[in-house]
Amino acid sequence: MRPSERVMKKKKVRVPGGESRISLIRQKKTKVSCGICKDRILSANNNRGLSKTEKRPSVVFGGVLCSTCRDKVFENAIKVKIGAKKEDDLTVTMKKFVSQAIKRIGK
Ligand SMILES: [Zn+2]
């Protein structure tokens, strides 16, 4: 079995001779959703055969967060950095992205 086949879904099929064999099925593509609000990101998809820039926008958190959540993350990151807001006041998921965003702002 090739390494690429190991991740494929296996399904037992009965062949005309009467015996059952394992056939490999390529798993369906999933829709890309935002990491915070779980809404669909229309500008991103994970189809095979597309180039990197066709799969997701090249902004920070592109293909991970939707545009409204990305704005909120950077707003909170700046507030935390200048000390107007405490990092502990944020929700757990927001905190994860904000700490990543602060690293990017620091550069
Ligand atoms: Zn979102």
Instruction: Give residue-wise pLDDT tens across range 22-73.
Output: 988 877 777 899 999 999 999 888 887 888 888 889 999 999 999 999 999 9
Ligand 1 (ion): residues with CB under 5 Å are 34, 36-37, 66, 69
CA 56–ligand 1 middle distance (angstroms) = 15
CA 67–ligand 1 middle distance (angstroms) = 7
CA 64–ligand 1 middle distance (angstroms) = 9
CA 82–ligand 1 middle distance (angstroms) = 24
Q: What confidence category does residue 1 fall into, taking pLDDT thresholds of 50, 70 and 90?
A: confident
- What global pTM score does this model have? 0.68
CA 69–ligand 1 middle distance (angstroms) = 4
CA 31–ligand 1 middle distance (angstroms) = 14
For the chain, what is the radius of gyration of the CA atoms?
Answer: 21
CA 40–ligand 1 middle distance (angstroms) = 8
23, 13 Cβ separation under 8 angstroms: yes
CA separation, residue 75 to residues 2, 6, 63, 105, 106 (Å): 46, 43, 19, 11, 14
